[in-house]
Amino acid sequence: MNSSSNLIDALFIFVLAGFIGFEVIRRVSPLLHTPLMSLTNALDAIAVVGAIVLVGEHKSTLSAVFGFIAVVAATSNIVGGFFITDRMLKMFKSSRPAAKPVVK
Amino acid sequence: MTPELAGSQIVIELVYLIASVLFILSLKWMSSPTTARHGIWAGEIGMLLAICGTLLHHGIVDYRLIAIALVLGTIIGVPLGRVAMTAVPQRTALSHAFGALCVTLVGSAEFYLRAPNISRFMMSVLSLEVILGGLTVTGSLMAAGKLQEILPQRPLTYKGQNLVNFVLLAVAVAIAVTLVLHPGDHSLFPFMVLIALAFGVLLIIPIGGADMPTVISLLNGYAGLSAAAMGFVLDSKLLIIAGALDGSSGLILSIIMSKAMNRSFTNVLFGAFGQVQAASAAGEEARPVRSATPEEAAAILSAANRVIVVPGYGMAVAQAQHKVRELFDALSKRGVDVRFAIHPVAGRMPGHMNVLLAEADIPYDRLIEMDEINGDFPQTDVALVIGANDVTNPAARSDASSPIYGMPILDVDKAHTVMVIKRSMNPGFAGIDNPLYYLDNTLMLFGDAKAFVGSIVRELGGGHG
């Protein structure tokens, strides 16, 4: 699992994803920089998958306890992050009636 | 090459692939307010898929504990999603701390499970994960404390501060190197984590409130990079992708913020802004200013054709955004063209002003970025500055001795009339005197922003009491 070819693969993925991130996020309107940050924060909490495995495998008490706290911390970021991002985006309304009606 | 994957493993990896695509789409849709909410749905579906996929993992034996943790996290997360919009900067800092806490704990647990059978590359990445994660935990907590005003907002500096920080970081790196060479040295690991935690505190102590947008962005980037490092450790492509996306987002925002303050990263982190300015402001003597009453301000505003409002952190502190909306409505009804000029570092985090004004129901197409609106000030009748200071300071353009010289500003002084709502003549947050206040075309409106705007609205006959 830790073979060097896997690590090279991982590096490729990291660099390419970094480029995609750079290009995509460069285009985000400055208007939405605050919701962008809370959204990336929620997405970053995908680290919860590593923590879930730690808790579930229960290989040692330490790993289960650390994993447990980690799952709690990450889940609160997922729930809180998506929730507040949605609340913020709902508030952005255009004055132009031509735009689609805001979905409540 | 790759070992044969079990059937369930293939399913999990495919689910992760779909989640990765959804995450990228999620960010792509954030490019415009009209598609942004699709972005949330994509993100949520991706997240749900990834978590469900993970639960299929064959090694999992204990589902009960996972369920309890997920429920507990949800219970904590819901109130964090419901905070007032004015509290969003500290909430964001707090969530950076939570994210980094997760990464640091998982990294530490992995170390104790695997040591001493850790390859050098793996140990390097793991060290990077816990050092970045650790300093982000305490750094973000400090930032949240400062933003919540539990901790003093003024920068705290002392002699040799940078040296202390540098030495501390060097020690942490030295421990990391030792661990890379001898991963069996269990006892060293906690010290590396502790030093990273201490470093995070010391890193934020000298940071003042005006630098918060840059620092929050930077911590966002660190949190992302530490998550990506965790992806390497766990061999999780999904985590590497999510971490890289978050890391690049934090990096881009930090660059935008630093540019908007005309400062480099190192300057923000090691500069201790406040000290310099306190010295430069000290020599100022009292100069005459012109002030006006709400009646006079209302008369000037209603006679104007074009008005640009410049909001700043002071507007958020005074909770004046809803009164500002009433002013916007009252003036718009009279046929005055009202727009808002948004400086990238106005407020305490990137985009802070936009969120507050959107919350007050001001249409987003009235919120104009600095570069786009700066050319319009000479044709503007009134520029109304509410709780903004440094971002309007003409010294940034003309006075090479000013600590903010070179910082891009909103050219409010070019408007025919400038009105500044301000509590008193005390210098603003960064402690720099603002020559704008002494110009012939400037009127100072002394008072609380919310109360003053309310009075103007009453004069215009558009308020609700």
The strands making up B382-386's β-sheet, listed across from edge to edge, are B367-369, B337-342, B306-311, B382-386, B417-422, B442-446
Count chain A–chain B contacts defined by CB atoms under 8 A: 381
Say whether pLDDT at B285 is over 70: no
Say whether pLDDT at A1 is over 50: no
- Residues of A whose CB is below 8 A from B239: 46-47, 49-50
How far, in Å, CA of B17 to CA of B130, rounded?
26
- How far is C-alpha A93 from the geometric centre of its chain's CA atoms? 25
| pLDDT category of residue B112 using cuts at 50, 70 and 90 | very high
B316-369 pLDDT per residue, tens = 888 999 999 999 999 999 999 999 999 998 888 999 999 999 999 999 999 999
ipTM above 0.85, yes or no: yes
- List of E strands, chain A: none
- Residues of B whose CB is below 8 A from A85: 40
In a 3-state reduction of DSSP, which class is residue B204? Answer: helix
pLDDT the model gives residue B166 = 86
B35-73 pLDDT per residue, tens = 999 999 999 999 999 999 999 887 888 899 999 999 999
B74-103 pLDDT per residue, tens = 999 999 999 988 899 999 999 999 999 999
**Which residue in A55, A66, A77 is closest to B77 by CB distance?**
A77
Q: Are B63 and A56 spatial neighbours (Cβ–Cβ below 8 Å)?
A: yes
Closest chain A residue to the Cα of B367, Cα to Cα: A31
Q: Tell me the nearest-neighbour CA distance from B210 into chain A, angstroms.
A: 16
Closest chain A residue to the Cα of B251, Cα to Cα: A22
| Mean per-residue pLDDT, A68-84 | 96
A28-49 pLDDT per residue, tens = 989 999 999 999 999 999 999 9
B243-264 pLDDT per residue, tens = 999 999 998 998 888 888 887 7
Token pair 């990273």 is at which residue? B196
| pLDDT category of residue A97 using cuts at 50, 70 and 90 | low
pLDDT the model gives residue B207 = 82
Domain ranges of chain A: 4-91
Cβ-based neighbour number of residue B116 at 10 Å: 11
Q: Are B83 and A84 spatial neighbours (Cβ–Cβ below 8 Å)?
A: yes
Question: Which residues are registered as beta bridge partners of B445?
Answer: B421
How far, in Å, CA of B211 to CA of B218, rounded?
11
| Mean per-residue pLDDT, B150-161 | 80
Of the candidates B211, B246, B381, B390, the residue annotated as catalytic is B390
Q: Are B368 and B342 spatial neighbours (Cβ–Cβ below 8 Å)?
A: yes
B337 is annotated as an active-site residue:
no
The answer to which of B9-23, B26-40, B136-150, B198-212 has the lowest mean pLDDT is B198-212
From the list A45, A82, A41, the residue with the least C-alpha distance to B102 is A45
B363-412 pLDDT per residue, tens = 999 999 999 999 999 999 999 999 888 899 998 888 888 878 888 999 99
B186-220 pLDDT per residue, tens = 889 999 999 999 999 998 888 877 788 888 999 99
pLDDT the model gives residue B429 = 54
What percent of chain B clears pLDDT 70, i.e. is strictly above it? 92
CA triple B385-B386-B388, angle to 5 deg:
80
B112 in contact with chain A, both atoms CB, cutoff 8 A = yes
pLDDT the model gives residue B205 = 87
From the list A44, A30, A15, the residue with the least C-alpha distance to B252 is A30
Structure tokens at B145: 């404390």
Q: What are phi and psi of B379, to 5 degrees?
A: -95, 15
Q: Dump the DSSP string for B88-129.
A: HHHHHHHHHHHHHHHHHHHHHHHHHHHTTS--HHHHHHHHHH
Average pLDDT taken over every residue of chain B = 88
Q: Are B155 and B175 spatial neighbours (Cβ–Cβ below 8 Å)?
A: no
Q: What are phi and psi of B309, to 5 degrees?
A: -95, 135
